[in-house]
Amino acid sequence: MKKKLVIFDLDGTLLDTVMDLAAATNHALESCGYATHSAEAYYNFVGRGINNLFRAALPEQERTDENISRMRTFFIPYYNCHNTDRSHPYRGISELLGTLAEMGLTLAVASNKYQQATEKLIRHFFPTIPFAIVLGQRDGFPLKPDPAIVGLICQQTGVQTSEVLYVGDSGIDMQTAANACVESVGVTWGFRPISELTANGSNHLADIPNDILLYL
């Protein structure tokens, strides 16, 4: 069936955000008296919400709720100020989004990044793209791979799941799509290897943004 709605993950799919996430998390670690990590290490830490990011970054014996809350108090204000310092859209993404909008497709974002930062990054990097809905992590709402975020987007846009294409860069994204019973595209330019995408049931793979046009 022809697609009417394309839902995008944010980090690793639309934007390369790992350097700013690494800097903010290292700032929080250092502020709490812990050792920091290389930026490369964060490719395996991100994608499951910031509490899980902190859990991965903290020493194993220090992964308590109290320490995660402490990390958050340092991370949030720093990241809110610095989350566009080195983040940037992947090559060809802005052009793809413009093409999809011109085709009349409805566009949405479903991210495990907290809502405030998700909205800011979309406004900053894609100010002319008419996203119908931009959803990040909010209190009381389950993180991906729970399919609730996809269900809410479908409900608010009035689109059936058979008319949805979900685009992401991780196994969590592919699981989210499968749990929501929507067709998925795993992008190979993001934070995770192709093997993770295929192991988690990606329906299609995209090596460059315009490959997504093939699956509409």
Q: Give the residue numbers marked as catalytic.
A: 9
Task: Give the sign of the dihedral formed by CA 155, CA 161, CA 162, CA 163.
Answer: positive
- The CA distance from 92 to 75, in Å, is 30
DSSP line for 79-124: HHHHTTSS-EEPTTHHHHHHHHHHTT-EEEEEEEEEHHHHHHHHHH
Q: How many angstroms separate the CA atoms of 175 and 143, rounded?
A: 12
Burial 15-49 (b: 16+ CB within 10 A, else e): bbbbebbbbbbbbbbeebebeebebeebbebbbbb
